[in-house]
Structure 1
Amino acid sequence: MTIVIKTQEDIEKMRIAGRLASEVLDYITPFVKPGVTTAELDRLCHEYMVNVQGTIPAPLNYCPPGYTPYPKAICTSVNQVICHGIPNDKALKNGDVVNLDITVIKDGYHGDTSRMFEVGTVASHASRLAQVTYECMWLGIDMVKPGARLGDIGAVIQRHAEKNGYSVVREFCGHGIGKKFHEEPQVLHYGKPGTGVELKAGMIFTIEPMINAGKKEIRAMPDGWTIVTKDRSLSAQWEHTVLVTETGYEILTQSAGTPARPALPQPAAVAA
C-alpha cells in the first residue's frame, strides 16, 4: 500500500478544492425542498461548478473497473439509498431525507464532501439518524492525529452508531484523496482501536460514515451504482476531507455554510 504524503503545495491546492466542494453544498441548500427533482439539483450544481467555480464535477463519467460510467455530476441518495444514488426526475417530497455528495476537481486536485438535508418537515427518527451520523463523523475526525491508527477512527464511529441502535455499512468506506479521486488508505468506519495504518502528517483522506437505521446489509440496484439498505430502512451519511497535521487535523471541506460542529457525547470519544 502506497499512501501519498502531501507536499505543502499539494495541501494548498487541496484546501482550495475542498472549500469549493463545500461551497457547492452552500449554493444548493436553498433549492432542496419539496417538489424539486434530484435531476434539477444535479443540473444546478453542475452549472455552478462549471460556470461559476471553474471546477470539474469529478463523478461525471467516473468509471472504476467493473462499473459503467457514472452519468451525473453529483450523487443524490434519498431515504433508504446508502450511497451513489443517481439523480433522476422523481420529485423530493415532504419528509424525505437526502444526502448530496459533491466532488470537484480544481487545478488537478479533488475536493470531496457530503451533507444530509431534510426535505420539509421530517420525522423525528429520521432527524435523529442524521444527527447521530453527524456525531459519528465528528467523533472519527477527533481521533485524527499523528501516531493514531485508522482503527481508532472506525472503532469510535462503530461504537457510537451501535450504542444508538444503528448499524455501520461495511462495504463502503472513506479513502485517501488528492490528484486521484480515490487513493490509499481505505478508511473503514468500524474496527478496533490501535489497529490499522498509523497516521502521519501530510496524509489526506475522507471520513464518511454510512449509518443505517436498521441492519447493515446492503443491496445493489440494477443501474450498477445505487446502493440501498437491504431491509429498506433509512440510511444517512456525512463526509469531510481531513488533513493530518503535525499536531492533529485540519478539515479541508469547510465553507461559510458548513453546519457547526455538534456537541459531542462523552466519554464516547475515548478509545477503548
Structure 2
Amino acid sequence: MEKEIASGRPNFFGEIGCWEERTAVHEAASQGQTLQLQQLIQNGASVNTMTVDSITPLHEACIQGQTQCARLLLDAGAQVDVRTVHGSTPLCNACAAGSPECAKLLLEHGATANPTLTALTATPLHEACIRGNADCARLVIAEGAHLEAFDIYFGTPLHAACIKQHVDCAKVLLNAGAKVNAARFHETALHIAAKEENKDLIEMLVEFGGDMYARDNFGRKPIDYTKPGSPPALCLEFYECNPLSLQQLSRVVFRRALGGKTHEEVVSRLNVSQRTISYIFYH
C-alpha cells in the first residue's frame, strides 16, 4: 500500500527535472561514455534529471572532470548553475576536481563564479583553494570571483589555501589582490601558516605585507603558535627583529595602492621593467 502511495506522488521538481536515483545518463556522464551519453540524449533522456540529493548528470561529469560529457549535456540544455541539496554547483565540482577544462567550459556557458554561499558549501574559488587547484583558481578569479568571500568554516579563500598549505593557491590569491591581513574571527592567514609550521607560507605572507603583530581572539601573535627554535619560529623572529627593507616596503605599498587590481595583466601595462613586475609578483 505504501509503495502505491509513493508511486502516485508527483516526482517533478519545478521545471529542472525529477527526483530519481542515478540514471543511465548520470552513469554515462560520470564514466565519460560520450557515445552512450549522446545516444541517450538523442533518444529523449532528460539531461536535468536529479537524484534525491539533487545531483544532476552535469554535476557527475564535472566531479569526474569529464569535459566532453559536460559539453554534450550543456549543448542539450543542462542547467549550468543547478545546485545540489548541499548547494554545490557544477562549477564548484569542477574546481574541487581540479578540472580547468570543465571549469572553463562552464564559465563559457554562463556559470556564475560567485554563487550564493550556504552553510554547507563554499564558492568555486574556495573549492579550488581547498583542493590546491591553482589553475582553476586563476580561471574563476579572471571571471570576477570574490577574493574576500567568507565561508563560515574556512574563512576567505586565502585562509582556506593556508589551512590546506597550498602555497601556489595562496600566491595566486595574493597576486590577484587578496587581503593578506583579512581576519577569520581575528585569525589571519599568518596565524594559520604559523600553526601549520609552514615556513614557505610564512615568508610569502610577510613579504606580501602580513602583520606579524596581529593578535587573535586569544591575544596571540603568529609567533606564539610556533615551537621555540623551529624554522617557522626563527623565521618570524628574524622578521620581528629585522624590518622589511625599503624595497620590500615599496612593493607592499604599491600593491596596497592598487587594491584589488593587482592582476599581472594590469601591472604588465605599466611602463616598468619585467624585473620590477616579477618582483611585485614575488616571482
Q: Same fold (TM over 0.5)?
A: no
TM range (shorter): under 0.3
Question: What TM-score, normalized to structure 1?
Answer: 0.23
Bigger Cα Rg:
2
